[in-house]
Structure 1
Amino acid sequence: MSKFKAICLLMILTLLLSGCWSKRELNELAIVAALGIDKVDNEFEITVQVVDPGEISSKQPSSGRSPVITYHSTGATVFEAIRKMTTVTARKLYFSHLQIVVLGDELAKEGIHETLDLISRDHEFRNDFDVIVAHDATADEVLNVLTPIEKVPANKLLNSLKTSEKTWGTTESIKIDELINTINNKTTSVVISAIEIQGDKNAGMDQTNVKKSKSSVLLKYTGLAVFKKGKLVGLLTEDESRSLGFLRDKIDSTIEIIACPKGDTLATEITHSKTKIKGKFEHGAPKIEVLIDVNQNVGEVLCKIDLTKEKSIHFINKKTAELIKKRIEETIRSVQQNYRVDIFGFGEELHRTNPKEWKKIEKDWLTIFQELPVKVEVHVSTQGVGTMENSLVSKTKGE
């Protein structure tokens, strides 16, 4: 009898199971690779970059069509604009494969808080996509540029962002969840990688831009955009962006160029960098100490210098340390005077060091930050000089 009851129960349960009721076939979806958000008057203008699977497939010959299609829509909110886009798209937009979100320049200046609410709240958006800002351009213009090598421009945007972050140090990859957390932090301000269009913006959407050996229009990352209370207030230069990378302990590798004792230059490759920031209070006054340890290799020698001598290596270490230290100090002063926001995380460090003293200055932190004393110390060690001891330049000059 018990077996009979169990069988009946299982049969009833199978009737209640819904199966794949929510399944969606691939040929019913429009896969969105990139999303652009602009502000036009009082409305949001949305641009989506949708992949054409037939044009990027390695198994099918190209028909000559563009590998991506961009759709546009406007609305009072981002949510409304996306829904209204269904009136022009042939398929339902699918955001689970979204790779990157581009925020337009004007939108960034007005404020990004409202914009980020939907894409951080909606369940169809995953939290593993990056966010960047268009510099002197709209997000629509950026997403309309066709790129060489990478058929899908969203892939180019993402790959360039990550590659330059690891090998040059002027960009930072920031995921949506990290961005939201930083925005909600009342102490540390947000920085987002900025991209610009080099060349004629209108020519970028033409197929000829990817059919020539030299593209007339390129997308280039141009430093880090600084935000204050969710609004864009300025753009760091490449040198300032690299300095910020050192201070935030995000430099994996980069290049430094120093002057040689007898003229000309020498380039080194930074192979490792470790930054320690220490906060302290002296008689209630906050101070910051920064210690950076750097390892490097000699990468290119365009001057006369004997790399077999210890004093030459000592000279290279000293000059590299001085260069990095000077650039970082200049960057700190520039941010303190021009932007007046803590993008370095100094306030967080002071809070961790002494919560009691921090509480006394927390309300006036941005004012105190502008005059905050910061001591920077850089130690450099040269690990290798390459496969040649000295430069070919010296030999060709007969020296």
Structure 2
Amino acid sequence: MTRLRMLLAVMLLLLCTGCWDMREINRLAIVNLTAVDIDPKTGKLVAYYQIINPTSISAKQSGPAKASVYTYSVTEDSPGLFTEKTGTIMSRMLFTPHLQCYVLTERYARRGLNDLINYLEMYTDRRTNVYAVVTDAPLNNVMDTFTPLDRIPGRNLRMLIDWQSRLIGMNRKLTQVKDIAEGIPLSRPTILPMLHYHGDRPASQSDRVERIEGANPGFELADGAVFVHAKMTGKVDRNTMTRYFVLNGEASRSFERLTVNGAGVDVEASHIKVSRHWGPSRLRIAIRADLRVLFNQQKIPLTSRNAREIESAYNRAVQRHAEEFVRLAKDKDWDLLGIGDTRQGRGKWRDVDVTFDVQAKAIWFGNTRTPYQ
């Protein structure tokens, strides 16, 4: 019986294929960050790949090995030729499952991303569930710069996007490539963060991470790029981008600078809830929020009466900003509230009268209600 079991086990092992899809790590070029641009002279696509240097991450090295990443670029007529072209400058195979973010130049984004999205969707390892940003800086500045807090620039950029998402209480990831794809048939635009670069030249020396000045040169995520049907059509500032997410029910926190009794008061609005109430050619948007006073320049104690004054000032400010948001949408022909994607507003979103009902409650004041004089 024992011999029979052993024979059966050997026969079963012969049927196993083993790790037929195993890939040796020393044969892979692990891509952490990638970017796409258009050559303005030839119209060809320029792709940048930032490849992780494993030897620099594992231990402190000297000489060339201390660079955490290496950046390569290729130029071709279409995205489908990028992989083959990288074989002329890299001795390893592109490996993208660990990709952190796509960086798109503004001129490429304004041409439209349909071809890129179709290219990414055809391969499972070229993922569309990855963050995407638009930059107005030269790509060599962005792709050839070391970052200080995290030595891998792609991971640094992803963590920066994640932190901004948590700051405004997003209930989903900020913006992925697939959001652009899913927004192609919709009336509501998609907004991607804008990546700015401070500095005239790339900080390409690895000793940049050993300097105390962290932000110059360096990245900044501010403003937003507006996409309609996968094509960039304009920009909005950071506050407008936050209102876009809040008014569409995707963010639950925001910050406002108020004027109360002639003095400045900074508040954080949290647990923001937005509901929509429809009528004939009319939409009323109700906004409810809890307020926390972050900074108060008033010279009077924070009494119950003063708390009501802060609430009223916040209600008026948000009402004004929301109405400006609607006017911007109509001026730019951007259905920022997605009214055209609803049964009531399909095909006539500009004709819908939008009003706002804002009610906030101040509940957090800190350790003292009486400011120091």
The answer to whether TM tops 0.5 is yes
State which of 322, 325, 339 in structure 2 corresponds to 1:328. Answer: 322
Residue 390 (str. 1) matches residue 370 (str. 2):
yes
Determine the structure 2 residue equivalent to 1:266. Answer: 265
Q: Does 1:178 align with 2:179?
A: yes
Contact 1:35 1:46 (C-alpha < 8 Å) held by counterparts: yes
* Residue number among 366, 370, 376 corresponding to 2:356 in the alignment: 376
2:151 alignment partner in structure 1: 151
Change (3 A) 1:28 1:250: same
Aligned residues: 366
Q: What letter corresponds to residue 376 of structure 1 in structure 2?
A: F
Q: Which amino acid aligns with 1:318?
A: S
The equivalent residue for 1:63 is 62
Higher helix share: 1
Q: What TM-score do the two structures reach when normalised by structure 1?
A: 0.84
Structure 1 partner of 2:288: 293
Structure-1 residue corresponding to 2:47: 46
Aligned partner of 2:107: which letter?
E
Judge conservation of contact 1:36–1:101 (CA < 8 Å) in 2: yes
Residue 204 (structure 1) aligns with:
203
**1:172/1:235 CA distance change after superposition, 3 Å:** farther
Cross-structure match for 1:23: 22
* 2:335 maps to amino acid: D
Do structure 1's residue 342 and structure 2's residue 335 form an aligned pair? yes
Q: What TM-score results when the alignment is normalised by the length of structure 2?
A: 0.90
- TM-superposed CA distance for 1:225, in Å, is 0.8
* 1:133 matched residue in structure 2: 134
1:20: how far off? 0.7
The match for 1:315 among 309, 317, 321 is 309
Contact 1:120 1:177 in 2 (8 A): no
Counterparts of 1:82-93 in structure 2, within 5 Å, are 82-93=83-94
Structure 1: which amino acid aligns with 2:354?
A: V
The letter for the 2-side match of 1:379 is: Q
- Offset at residue 295 of structure 1 (A): 0.8
The answer as to whether partners of 1:133 and 1:194 remain within 8 angstroms in 2 is: yes
Match runs of 1:244-259 below 5 Å: 244-259=244-259
Contiguous gaps of at least 5 residues in structure 2:
none
Q: CA deviation at 1:33?
A: 0.8
Q: What SS class does the counterpart of residue 203 from structure 1 fall into?
A: coil
Q: Which amino acid aligns with 2:331?
A: Q
Identity over aligned residues, as a percent? 21
* 1:109 aligned partner: 110
1:237 aligns with 2:232: no
- Indicate how the Cα distance of structure 1 residues 333 and 376 shifts in structure 2: closer, same or farther if over 3 A, else same: same
Equivalents in 2 of 1:10, 1:187: separation in Å?
Answer: 60
Letter in 1 for 2:266: A
For residues 353-375 of structure 1, the C-alpha deviation after alignment (integer angstroms, 9 at most, x for no partner) is x5xxx6xxx4xx3xx33443211
**How much does 1:10 deviate?**
6.7
**1:317 and 1:128 mapped to 2: Cα distance?**
39
> Could you tell me whether the CA contact under 8 Å between 1:127 and 1:175 is conserved in 2?
yes
Displacement of 1:226: 0.7
Question: Aligned-pair distance for 1:305?
Answer: 2.7
1:316 & 1:197 partners in 2: Cα distance?
37
Structure 2 vs 1, CA of residues 37 and 162 (structure 1 numbering), >3 Å: closer, same or farther? Answer: same
CA 1:277–1:86 in structure 2 vs 1: closer, same or farther (change >3 Å)?
Answer: farther
1:15 is paired with a residue whose SS is helix
Query: For residues 79 and 129 of structure 1, do their structure 2 counterparts lie closer, same or farther at Cα, with a shift above 3 Å needed?
Result: same
Per-residue CA deviations over 1:245-298 (Å, capped at 9, x if unaligned) read 22122334332111120x331111222211112344x2xxx3222111111211
Q: Distance in 2 between matches of 1:211 and 1:26?
A: 29
C-alpha separation between the residues in 2 aligned to 1:125 and 1:253? Answer: 33
Moved more, 242-251 or 102-111: 242-251
User: What's the offset of the Cα at 1:27?
Assistant: 2.1
Task: Check whether the contact 2:36–2:47 (CA below 8 A) recurs between aligned residues.
Answer: yes
Moved more, 313-322 or 79-88: 79-88
Aligned to 1:204, the other structure's residue is in SS state coil
Q: Is the CA contact (8 Å cut-off) linking 1:172 and 1:193 kept in structure 2?
A: no
Return the offset for 1:139: 4.2
Residue deviations 1:147-202, cap 9 Å, x none? 1111111112111112122215799712233332122x3322222111111221x2
Give the match's secondary structure for 2:161: helix
CA contact (8 A) 1:169 1:245 kept: no
**Using the alignment, how far apart are the partners of 1:17 and 1:74 within structure 2?**
42
Distance 1:233 1:100 in 2: 21
8 A contact 2:189–2:227 mirrored in 1: yes
Give the Cα separation in 1 of the matches to 2:199 and 2:282. Answer: 45
8 Å Cα contact 1:247/1:275 also seen in 2: yes
Which whole-Å deviations, capped at 9, do the CAs of 1:188-238 have from their partners, x for residues lacking one?
Answer: 2222111111221x2332335433211431211122211123221111112
How many Å separate the matches in 2 of 1:7 and 1:212? 64
| Structure 1 counterpart of 2:340, one-letter code | G
Does the Cα contact within 8 Å between 1:179 and 1:190 map onto a contact in 2?
A: yes
